[in-house]
């Protein structure tokens, strides 16, 4: 059975530079089809509890346990990959597995200290400030779904500053009554600096320069890579080199400190992916928008059918999209096939040698990306194949994401989408969706103008705070 699933999961339009790419969407669909055709499928429910007692529930089907070894292996592989995706889409400090004790206890072992998913358990424990738990129960024992959404952004009145903290550059915008008076971006290196004073000084420098273009400051909105709860930094790769004791002392409240420094003005901090989606909702005047910012990492945000933010993590950089076990491993999480290696500057750098492009090892990741982008603009065929391959990744992955999000519009931003490369990504993604997933045919693709791609998130961030 396993062989049949893997054969059925082979893409018809594999990335030009990565023919062994095994799309999560195709593997999952092949698995579920095999379960259905067996006539012996059993129900499985997965519950994920996060802050505020919110619970997300996902229901699916498996082969019965203990009857065929191939079935047991396939069951665990399917559920392990699915739960990891759900965890990084929705978030949670507690997983409840109902309906399969065998798979449930395997998963429980995986999330123990020293287990294959220990990183994920430790990470979620930090985010929600609770011990991570996996509970195994009957199908009916999984808690009922309970989720809430919230309105955010879109405020235009007054004098506002929007700040966007990326891994390669920081961007800022001064906005008065909806009109952009000033915008700027500055290269910085937050991911290699241990001293949080470096980060604070850079943030403050950008904000103060924007403030010079406004008569006063009524509010500051921040778009920042990482996870933020109540404007506090819970986890963020921007501060990956900062020692834990300094993180707690100087990073968790880095943005509230900024607001105090600027006169205790109203502040709102959101993940940069959510800000991407809000920017798209405002520009398109529509909902069900998935925003993907491809830069230092993959940042994702989502606006639902009501035009609200869901409160989900949307940290899809860690969600698996390639089920090829030989796929590149993410250095941080230690897992293979995760989104960060497919939808960020890492993807470009990964594919460059295969495309016949040798990059100077002394360059920073951002400089390597820039070097490849210059080749694209010059018509280098190998460089073009890099971005076309990322487009293939994206087309197949959108089908996977559609299992968790209702998507009407896809909006992509970020440094990777600049110039000709961005157009190549979307062109190939459309081709894959049209050819492999006709059920997603109504999905609309959007690539904002160059200026919006560069500083659009800072401008959208300015509209986050509500002024009393």
Question: What percent of the chain is predicted at pLDDT more than 70?
Answer: 98
Burial 428-437 (b: 16+ CB within 10 A, else e): bbbebbeebb
Residue 450, pLDDT score: 53
Contact 188, 169 (CB under 8 A): yes
The top-scoring range by mean pLDDT among 279-293, 297-311, 347-361 is 347-361
Tell me what pLDDT residue 452 has: 53
pLDDT score of 2: 54
pTM of the shown model? 0.87
pLDDT at 154: 81
- The stretch 110-119 carries a mean pLDDT of 97
Residue 152 pLDDT level (bands cut at 50, 70, 90): confident
Nearest to 352 by CA among 324, 385, 393: 385
Alpha carbon distance, N-terminus to C-terminus of the chain: 61
* Portions of the chain given CATH number 3.40.140: 40-141
Please give the CATH superfamily to which domain 159-272 belongs: ATPase, nucleotide binding domain (3.30.420.40)
Spell out the alpha helix ranges (H) of 49-117: 69-90, 101-110
For range 230-242, the mean pLDDT: 90
Question: Is beta strand 42-49 parallel, antiparallel or unpaired with respect to 159-165?
Answer: unpaired
Please, what sign has the CA dihedral across residues 299, 304, 306, 311?
A: negative
Q: What DSSP designation does 132 have?
A: -
Q: Comparing 35-39, 129-133, 227-231, which segment has the lowest mean pLDDT?
A: 227-231
pLDDT of 7? 83
Top CATH class, 275-459: alpha beta
Query: Across residues 281-307, what is the average pLDDT?
Result: 89
Give residue 304's pLDDT band: very low, low, confident or very high (50, 70, 90). Answer: very high
Sequence-distant (6+) residues with CB within 8 A of 294 are 343, 344, 345, 347, 390, 412, 413, 414, 415, 416, 417
* CATH 3.30.420.40, the chain: domain bounds: 159-272, 275-459
CATH topology of domain 40-141: Cytidine Deaminase; domain 2 (3.40.140)
Q: What average pLDDT does the chain have?
A: 93
Do 221 and 163 touch, CB atoms closer than 8 A?
yes
Pairwise pLDDT comparison (188 vs 6), residue with the higher score:
188
Position 61 scores a pLDDT of 98
- CA angle 174/179/185 to nearest 5° reads 35
Beta-strand (E) ranges in 384-429?
Answer: 409-413
Going by the DSSP 8-state scheme, the letter that residue 140 receives in this structure is: G
Q: What is the pLDDT of residues 306-352, one digit of tens each?
A: 989 898 999 999 999 999 999 999 998 999 999 999 999 999 999 99
pLDDT at 139: 97
């Amino acid at each position: 059975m396993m062989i049949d699933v893997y054969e059925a999961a082979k893409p018809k339009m594999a990335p030009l530079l990565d023919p062994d790419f095994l799309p999560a969407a195709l593997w999952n669909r092949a698995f579920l089809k095999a379960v259905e055709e067996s006539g012996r499928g059993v129900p499985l429910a997965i519950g994920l509890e996060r802050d505020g007692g919110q619970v997300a529930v996902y229901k699916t089907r498996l082969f019965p346990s203990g009857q065929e070894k191939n079935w047991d292996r396939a069951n665990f592989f399917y559920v392990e990959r699915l739960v990891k995706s759900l965890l990084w889409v929705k978030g949670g400090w507690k997983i409840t597995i109902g309906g399969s004790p065998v798979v449930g206890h395997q998963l429980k072992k995986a999330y123990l200290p020293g287990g294959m998913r220990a990183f994920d358990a430790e990470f979620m424990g930090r985010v929600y400030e609770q011990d991570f738990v996996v509970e195994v129960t009957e199908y009916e024992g999984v808690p009922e779904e309970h989720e809430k959404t919230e309105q955010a952004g879109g405020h235009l009145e007054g004098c506002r500053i929007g700040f966007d903290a990326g891994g390669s550059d920081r961007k800022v915008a001064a906005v008065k009554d909806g009109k952009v008076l000033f915008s700027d971006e500055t290269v910085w290196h937050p991911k290699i600096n241990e001293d949080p004073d470096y980060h604070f000084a850079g943030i403050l420098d950008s904000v103060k320069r924007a403030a010079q273009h406004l008569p006063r400051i009524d509010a500051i909105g921040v778009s920042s890579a990482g996870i933020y709860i109540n404007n506090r930094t819970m986890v963020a790769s921007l501060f990956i080199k900062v020692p834990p004791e300094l993180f707690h002392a100087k990073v968790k409240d880095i943005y509230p400190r900024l607001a105090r420094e600027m006169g205790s003005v109203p502040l709102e901090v959101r993940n940069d992916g959510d800000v991407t989606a809000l920017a798209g909702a405002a520009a398109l005047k529509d909902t069900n928008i998935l925003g993907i910012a491809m830069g230092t990492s993959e940042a994702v945000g989502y606006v639902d059918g009501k035009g609200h933010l869901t409160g989900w993590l949307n940290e899809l950089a860690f969600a698996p999209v390639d089920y090829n076990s030989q796929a590149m491993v993410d250095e941080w999480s230690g897992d293979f096939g995760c989104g960060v290696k497919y939808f960020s500057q890492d993807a470009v750098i990964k594919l460059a040698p295969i495309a016949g492009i040798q990059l100077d090892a002394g360059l920073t990741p951002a400089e390597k990306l820039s070097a490849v982008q210059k080749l694209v603009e010059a018509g280098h065929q190998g460089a073009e194949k890099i971005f076309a391959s990322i487009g293939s990744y994206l087309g197949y992955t959108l089908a996977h994401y559609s299992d968790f999000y209702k998507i009407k519009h896809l909006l992509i931003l970020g440094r990777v989408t600049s110039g000709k490369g961005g157009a190549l990504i979307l062109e190939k993604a459309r081709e894959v969706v049209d050819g492999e997933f006709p059920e997603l045919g109504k999905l609309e693709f959007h690539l904002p103008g160059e200026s919006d791609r560069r500083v659009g998130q800072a401008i959208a961030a300015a509209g986050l705070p509500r002024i009393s």
